[in-house]
Structure 1
Amino acid sequence: MVTPRLLSALSLVCLSVVAVEAQPRPAPAKPRPVRPFVEHGFITLNATAQASAADLTDRVLFNTNAETGTIDARYPGKTAMLADVTAGFRVTGRLGIALGGSRASSSGSASVSADIPHPFFDNQHRQVEGTATGVSRTEIAAHLQLYYDLRPKGPWRIRVFAGPSYFDVEQEVITEIDAAETFPYDTASFRSAGTARAKGSGIGFNGGADIARMFTRRFGAGVLIRYARGRVDLDAPESRSVSTDGGGLQAGGGIRVLF
């Protein structure tokens, strides 16, 4: 049997439920807006190959047996392995300034041709020809670049650049040869060559393009194609000067970082 007290209790419960349901529910929290990534600059790390611009030739004069002999050496241009790092910062719009540094090293051979005076007779030089191996060369370069970023195409980034370059070159050059000869000394044969380090620096230019594919907003991989060239006068032994070209065509790839 339903009593008045029970009816009153049920009524109070129903009124409480209705009051709770009638209260306004709190609005859902708005998600924080995602800030768009604005590119200010980049860093690239590359491993590339450099094709030397040209061969290097050199002539050495020496005195022996009261006459003057000559040594002509030819150092073929060869491909060198090159490590490169570049950092750039946008100045305005899509224009920016970058500074890069690279180091290339190689080791190869040099062809040698020498005229050696006869120990007994004047004007009867013996001709000697041979090949010197293990001739090394090192180039360190700094590249200042004005660059332009093309408008991005999805994950792809393309940058073109040009500017001046500074080259510091160290090259082994032939200074003497060791020839085998026996009485009556009418002929001689090449045995080995002695070398010394020649160093020099010079100014040139660089230009090229960098193509990258970004895997995230900040990290990706890319390809570098650059041509750099500069004339360098090497200070060789005996107060000689040897002219060479620094740089060459460079192609390779590596890591790309945007910031």
Structure 2
Amino acid sequence: MAYFEPVSATSFRATEHVSGAWNITEQHIAPALGLLAHAVEADRDARRDDDLIIGRLSYDILGTLPVDVVDCSVTVLRPGRTIELVEARLSHGGRDGVILRAWLMRPGDTSALAGTPLPTIPAPEAMPTWDATTVWPGGFIASAEVRRDQVEPGRGAFWVRSDQPLLEGVPVSGLAHTVRLLDISNGMTVRAQPQEVAFPNIDLTAHFFAQPQGDWVGFDTSVSFGASGVGLTSSVLHDETGPVGTMAQILTVRP
């Protein structure tokens, strides 16, 4: 079973694999972020045939969403021949839960210039298996296979994959397949136990200099808490070829 089942062209039913992790009656927002990325790509493909690629995904999480049918809309904010800014909204009962703004850019051949100083992390098979359900409840966390090398609380590297596709019966891109797992990062190397301190993220912004491929998503992650109730989870994102981008999540820290 997938994370979502299509109800119509713009409506999707969340399945049991989307539940958790702060409250199992609500959606873990990770699959919903993948759904919005897919919606942006589907809208792009319906409008044009030049395969603009997504360089940035910036999500604002306005509130929680129940494990129920959600609706998606897409609007082009800044049309262009080589660059577009597109907005997508995910709502339930007429109330927006997540807003995405995505920059799409014309691809080109820069293979002769490709490279990054960002360090790699050990391959998935080089890391021990870790059971994330020992920390987090819900169907989404239970659906994820995790390999983790933790340095200390709030600092570690890990790989995540899931057998659950994003959409039942609908093929999605390698990017959307990856994005459906990105929001798991905030809970994989915690600074404090979630039974004692709440630290949900209210946004997520990912930048990609390469389009991720494959089932495994790698994270090199640091979690920081400030002294005034604000935190930050920062990650370098990987596929099995190496680093592909970076990601940040701002946290509201509530003992």
TM-score range, shorter-chain basis?
A: under 0.3
Structure (1 or 2) with the larger CA radius of gyration:
1
- Where relative contact order (Cα < 8 A, 6+ residues apart) is larger, the structure is 2
Q: Which has the higher strand share?
A: 1
The alignment's TM-score, normalised by the length of structure 1, stands at: 0.27
Q: Structure 2 length normalisation: TM-score?
A: 0.27
